Structures are given as C-alpha cells and as structure tokens.
Structure 1
Amino acid sequence: MSHDFDPLLPETFDSPNADYAVLRATCPVAHSDAWGGFWALMKHDDVAAAAADWQTFITSQQNVIPKVAFTGRRPPLHLDPPEHTPYRRAIAPLLSERRVAKLEPAVRRICRDLLAAMVVQGSGDIVADFSAHMPIATFATWMNLPPAAVEELTRVGKRYNIAIQANDIDATKESSALLYDMARGVVADRKANPMSIDEDVTSALLAVRVDGEPLPEEMIVGTIRQVLVVGIIAPSVMIGSIAVHLARDRALQDRLRAEPALVPAAIEEFLRLYTPYRGFARTAVRDVTIRGRTIPAGEPIALVYASANRDADVFEAPDEFRLDRPNIKDSVAFGRGPHMCVGAALARLELQVALEELLAAAPGFALAGEPMPTRFPEIGALAVPVTFEKAAA
C-alpha cells in the first residue's frame, strides 16, 4: 500500500492547505500509514458524494481519524440511519434558527466579558483567553447547566482538546471518561428534575419513544457526551483562524469593523476558507473505486472537508477571501447528508457574535507571534497571540 502523505509531520498554520493543494492535483484519493492506515478524499465532489451516500459510506464503524472513541457509542454521529434518527430528531428542534436566536444576548454578554479583560491587558491569546471559553459557556447556557458544571466542563474540555491534539491516547481516554461522568450526572439530574422538552435537550432525549420504548439510557448519556465536545472544539479553532486572517489583512479587518452588516457574509466565506475539520471518517461497506483507486471495504476514509472547500474546480481562486462568492452554498463546511451538522445555526450565531464583538472591542488588533496550529482531526489555530490597539483618548 502506498504512503502518499504523513499527517504526523510538523505543521505550521498554513502548511496543511498547501499540502492539500498538491494532493488534490496529484493524488486526490490518498493513503497514509498513520494510525494504522487510512484513506483521504481531497476533492470536493468526492467528499460531498461520500458524505451523502450513507448506505455505502457508513459512520458507525469509525467516525473520526485518528480513532478516539474508546468508551462507547455516541449518537447521533456514531450511528447510521435509521438508528441515529430518533436522537437527531430530538436534538434538532432545540438547535433551530428560531430557538438559537434566543441565545444571542447571552452569547454577546459572554464575548464582551471575555474580550474586555484582554483589551484592558492590551494583549492575550484569542484561543486560550477567548474562543476556548466562549463555546463552553454558550453550550452550558443552552444545556441549562449550573455554574459548577460550567467550570468542570471548561477544565475537562480543555484537557480533552489538548490530549487529542497531542495524540496522547491515555490522556484522551482519561478526559473522555470524565466527560462521560459529567454526561451521566446531567442525565441523572434531568430524570430527577425534568424540564420542558421544548427547553432542554436532555429532557427531550429522555422523552423519546421508539416503538413505545425509551431510548437506552447509556445511549442518551453518549449523546450528551458527544454534544458536550462537538460544540466546543470547532468554534474555538474557527475563531482562532478568523483572528489570524484578519490580523494579516488589516484592510478587511477595518472594512468589517466599519460595515458590520457584512459580517454574516464574511462568516460564510471564513467557514469555507478555514473549515475546521479534516478527519471526519466513513467506512465503505464494499470495495469502492474513486478516480481510479480502489479502497477496500472496511478501511477508514477521511472526508477532508478543509481540502474540499479549497478545490479550484468548484471555487474560483480558492485560497482568496471573497465576500461576494456566488457559489458559497457549495461549501461543505457543515458536511452533507444525514450527518450534516445539526448545530449549524448555533455555530453561525457564535461565530457572528464573536467576530462582531472582537471587532468592536478595540480599534485594531495584530499578531504578537506565530499562531500555533492544531493537528488531526481539526485544522486551524490552537493559539493566536495578539496585541490590541488602544482607543483614542
């Protein structure tokens, strides 16, 4: 088996996208020996087709590369239709645009409080001091968690993220087990103190009936465990990447600050340009041939969304930021098919408010050092040191 690329090599913030451009041109269906071996789809059409074809490319065998699920199945991501559908159906109404919009004041307050401390200091790390905390506080609000649980989730969520980025299997298992303990605590509390299914995701899951029977409690725990993490890491990385781009492009930074009405369109283009996932996985149930290469049944396949969204066959000048991209809807930032991100509306709200508040917090900001990159399965910024300009007296 050929070894076409090595995801374990050292990276910079920019190097993965440069590497993926080469692979798209020369080896769009690539194989790596890392983590026991896996395939990677680099082209937009191949990624979109595999994500949509859930009958051929299943997610229940392995859903991310490298494999980090050691402690049980976590719906809905770890299940295929129709098994995954009751879990997603319970979650989706609580993540609709209408419901998510109610969180906007809380998200804005969270962002302002975090940024205010950084601006007073004159500098900070956009990720460590801002974007690593904001999604956790937002999710805690959405999940109706008490303050003590927010502090615990912040602590454990950070440990989990660092462990995955460092490919530390033991630490990943340990922090994942702690997240499971938190999820069990949330489920136990809602069983004792139920809330409206229109207001609380755990209560909604507990109320689901399939053929008259409730969902298995351990699977509900797995769903809450999944929700606790999926909504934390991606927004954190994404906001870091946006900050890097704007620190490098002062004209765009100033334009968005002067014309905040452009922020929603900017977020869509940032999502395309800095899609934070490259390791969501599928497994083919039969041998499949894509662009002349045959992938044997049962071998993991990474859907490299980050590469797909910079495919020049779909997006003109794909490495450029363009506010007026006519085909931005072709972006696969939130995936395709039955596993398309159920939390897309909440992610957009978080990113939009975070960017608006970052731009409003100071007259300008600049990089204070090189951004630290993430590793598989995310792609983007793990640390972004910045300095803030002082407002004119």
Structure 2
Amino acid sequence: MKLISDEILTDTGATEPVYPASYPELETDFELWNPNSWKRGHPYDLYRRMREEAPVMWSKVRRPASRYWSVSRYEDIKTVELQPDIFSSQRGGINLAVPDRKNWKPEILIRAAMDNLISMDEPSHMQMRIQQKDFFVPAYVAKLREKVRAKVDALCDDLEAKGPVVDFVKVFSNELPLYTLCEMLGVDEADRPKIVYWMHYLEMASQFLSNPLTTFLGEPLFPFRFNKVVEEMFAYGARVMADRRAHPREDLLTLIAHSKLDGEDLPQAYLDGSWLLIIFAGNDTTRNSLSGTVKLMTEWPEQRAIVLSDPAMIPRMSEEALRMVSPVKHMRRTALEDTEINGQRIAKDEKVVMWYGAGNRDPDVFENPDVFDMTRENVSKHIAFGHGVHKCLGARVAQMQLQVAYEQLFARFPKIEFTGEIRYGPNALVHAISKLEVNLYGRGNARPTQVQLKAAS
C-alpha cells in the first residue's frame, strides 16, 4: 500500500505564480505563515482587507517553502471545499508547507502528520470515514454525553476549589477534550497521563520552532527529551494497535486497528497517523472553543443574559461562538489541474490556503459579522468545521461537549468573567489560547459566603 508521505508534493521554493496575480499583494506586518504573528490572535483587520481588496492573494512564506494563494471570502472557501477532485488534500497535504525530505525530523512524526484520513483524497478518504462513523453518529454521541456530563461536573468542582481567580485553560478546557477522546479511543486509565505528557511535548515542539530561546528558558530539557518522547509515543501506539488486533474491544482504537483500504490492513504508518489525528483534531477545536466562548460571554453581556434567562439558547450560542472564535485557522489544498477562483487563475500544483476566520466574518454572508448574535438566522452556517466531504468527522462530538460544558458552567458560575489576561500560543494552524484567566464569580468578586443553617431544636 502506497503511503501519502511517499508521494506527497514537497516545496520547490517557488516565489512567483505561474499566472499573473489578479489582485494586489497587501502590505502588512502580520505574516500569515509565521506562528509568532498569531500570538496576537486573529488578524481581523487584515482579513477584512483581504476580502475587500485581494480575496485570492499571492502570499508570502519563509524560504525555502513555496508561496501560496490565500482565499478569504466565504463563498470562495466553499468553492474550494466542494471541489475535492480539483483541490486535493492528498497531493500536498493540509499543512502550509512540506519541506524537503532530508529535513523531516523526527521522520516518524512528520510522516504521521500526513498519513491519515484528513490528508486523503477519494476514494480512500470515504473508505476510512465510513469505517469510523459508528463513533460519531448521534446514538454513540448520546451515550458518550453522560460520561462527559460527569466529567464536566468534576471539572467545575476543580474550578471552584482553585478559584475564584483561575486559569480556565489549565483547569478546564485542557482537560475536557482529552478525557472525551481517551474515552472514545479506549485508552486505559493508567495510560492517560502519558497521553497528556506527549501532547504537551508535541505542542512545545511548534513553540520551539518559533521561539527556541524562550522555549529553552522555560523548559531547558525540552530539546534533549523530545526525540525520546516521540519514540515512546509511537512505540506505545504500535503496542496498543497490535494488542487491539489480537484482543479487540468496543473502542475506537480497535476500529482503527482493524480498518482496511482496498481490502488491505492498514500499515503501521497509517495506524500511527490515525490515532494521533483524532487526539490532535478533537482536542484543539473543543479546547479553544471553550476558552474563546468564555471570553466572548464577558465581552457580550447581553448575549450572556439571553442564555442565563433561557438555557435552551445554548446550542445557538455555541454555533455563534464557533463562528466568532474560528478555532481552526486554515486548511491547505493543492490544485490538481489549472483552474480559477474568483477571477484568479491557479496553476496545477500551486497551493490554495483557506482562511476560515476570514470566511466566518464575511459580511456578504453574516450581517454585522463582528457582532456576537446568537439570534441571527444563519447561526449554523459557519465553516468552523470546514465544509463538504472533508467537514470534520468529529463535529457532533465537539458540539456535544461544548453544549454540555456551557450548560453546567453557566448553571454553576453564572457570573464567570474573563479578567483580561489572555495568552495565545505561536500557532498558525489553530487558535491556540494557552491561558485565559477568569474570576468565577465576576471580576473583582470573592467566593460567595456559605451560610450554614442550624436545625431548629
């Protein structure tokens, strides 16, 4: 079986498009490709300029990577998503750049980021998707909901114990999605701390590439431990997959271990990529949506009031928050043939990058797009989970977690408020909120006094 990573298009370092640019290349100090730029959050002013002046813009990137086309209008993003036969996920993968193979270090991790469902084209993509669907259908999600509800209750207890002022990311939004994913995958309780540890190191890796000195000062042993951590992680994956093939269980790891492509068992490379994808994809979207929504509820108190007076509005609030937060910043496609988007000719093998945060604030689709309004008619039309055949398989699971979390958070802490202290990680792929300080009882307030009533004698 051929691996995606064996045939993927690597960057040539191209600086000029094959066909002339129809739109200007905007001057800005925000470098879309640069993880450090994203420590400021989404560049909403730049998004607006792109939509208005350069909706398909030839864009800069650090050499030796090849430059790419940025797509920022909602309808243009949908056009790309709905034509997977022209705009490929597999030809160049989903990442903004694919370096020369001699620079794939550690190679097993780089390959795993490519050899998985999200980077597949048809028919392989649909074959894999169908085999995993039982863990994402409404019946399974409903069964999972009760476990999530119990976990959220425990996390609220942790918040209360550590409050009133607490880092919401550390105590709550980091914890919930990893718990849910481990439940789905069937990761043994004893192994779950390992998953948390490995995810920490993989997130540190992207920070190290962007800010090596800062990362080194914060965690001096990181560069020396990283390769060993990666080896441990993939050895664990190989061991667990072998066990699930020999001793099946009713969990997602078993399903992955027994998946097939064209009638063949998946090679270890695809097994590695598959379980890691679920951990990463499922974790980031939910984690950053949770944090981003708490921030939004502080910034839009009249919307909070709507939810507090009518909790039935929580699903609409959750959808509008996903639009506003846009937890996944971009996805990349590669043209399989010469084509055109919004008057711009695109050559075969050129990259096309869709900026979801820009599309989700397109005023041609969402009236007053910078206003949080859960009552808007098209509240569910956002593209935070993508669109078309590659729309996130785990969207139902993510939405369930978000709704359960908001129901219990606002019941327990109706005045929870963002204090103003926030930190974004250097990450160009996901809206990585790495710290969000909140006061559980409203800014400046202390824990409410508990009054114990004595029974009448």
| Aligned match for 2:428, one of 366, 376, 379 | 376
Query: For 2:118, what is the secondary structure of its paired residue?
Result: coil
| Mapped partners of 1:325, 1:190: distance in 2 | 46
Q: What is the CA-CA distance between 1:163 and the residue it aligns to?
A: 2.8
Instruction: Say whether 1:228 aligns with 2:268.
Output: no
Instruction: Say whether 1:71 aligns with 2:111.
Output: yes
User: Which residue of structure 1 aligns with residue 296 of structure 2?
Assistant: 245
Which deviates further from its counterpart, 57-66 or 47-56? Answer: 57-66
Q: Is the 8 A contact 1:253 1:359 kept in 2?
A: no
| Mapped partners of 1:342, 1:173: distance in 2 | 30
Normalising by structure 2, we get a TM-score of: 0.79
Aligned Cα RMSD in Å?
A: 2.5
Aligned length: 390
User: Which residue of structure 2 aligns with residue 186 of structure 1?
Assistant: 240
Instruction: Say whether 1:32 aligns with 2:81.
Output: no
Q: What is the CA-CA distance between 1:244 and the residue it aligns to?
A: 0.9
Q: What is the CA-CA distance between 1:210 and the residue it aligns to?
A: 4.9
Q: What is the CA-CA distance between 1:81 and the residue it aligns to?
A: 0.6
Q: What is the CA-CA distance between 1:350 and the residue it aligns to?
A: 0.9
| Mapped partners of 1:80, 1:46: distance in 2 | 20
Q: Closer, same or farther in 2 for the Cα pair 1:180/1:63, shift >3 Å?
A: farther
Instruction: Say whether 1:19 aligns with 2:46.
Output: yes
Query: Structure 1 vs Structure 2: percent identity of aligned residues?
Result: 24
| Structure 2, gaps ≥5 residues long | 1-15, 17-23, 100-108, 213-221, 442-446, 451-457
| Structure 1, gaps ≥5 residues long | none
Tell me the amino acid that sits aligned with residue 285 of structure 1.
Answer: L
Instruction: Say whether 1:41 aligns with 2:71.
Output: yes
Tell me the amino acid that sits aligned with residue 160 of structure 2.
Answer: V
| Mapped partners of 2:354, 2:193: distance in 1 | 33
Query: For 2:57, what is the secondary structure of its paired residue?
Result: strand
User: Which residue of structure 2 aligns with residue 108 of structure 1?
Assistant: 149
Instruction: Say whether 1:387 aligns with 2:414.
Output: no
Q: What is the CA-CA distance between 1:362 and the residue it aligns to?
A: 1.9
Instruction: Say whether 1:96 aligns with 2:137.
Output: yes
| Mapped partners of 2:365, 2:265: distance in 1 | 44
| Aligned match for 1:125, one of 157, 163, 167 | 167
Q: Is the 8 A contact 1:71 1:176 kept in 2?
A: no
Q: What is the CA-CA distance between 1:89 and the residue it aligns to?
A: 1.1
| Mapped partners of 1:279, 1:182: distance in 2 | 30
| Mapped partners of 1:371, 1:255: distance in 2 | 25
User: Which residue of structure 1 aligns with residue 217 of structure 2?
Assistant: none
Q: What is the CA-CA distance between 1:314 and the residue it aligns to?
A: 0.9
| Mapped partners of 2:258, 2:362: distance in 1 | 43
Q: Closer, same or farther in 2 for the Cα pair 1:368/1:327, shift >3 Å?
A: closer
User: Which residue of structure 2 aligns with residue 307 of structure 1?
Assistant: 358
| Mapped partners of 1:320, 1:380: distance in 2 | 22
Q: Closer, same or farther in 2 for the Cα pair 1:282/1:178, shift >3 Å?
A: farther
Which deviates further from its counterpart, 278-287 or 15-24? Answer: 15-24
Question: How does 1:205-354 map onto structure 2 within 5 Å?
Answer: 205-210=256-261, 212-354=263-405
CA deviations over 1:171-223 (Å, ceiling 9, x no partner) = 7984665543443232122123212xxx3223223334555432334312321
| Aligned match for 1:154, one of 196, 199, 215 | 196
Q: Which has the larger radius of gyration?
A: 2
User: Which residue of structure 1 aligns with residue 9 of structure 2?
Assistant: none
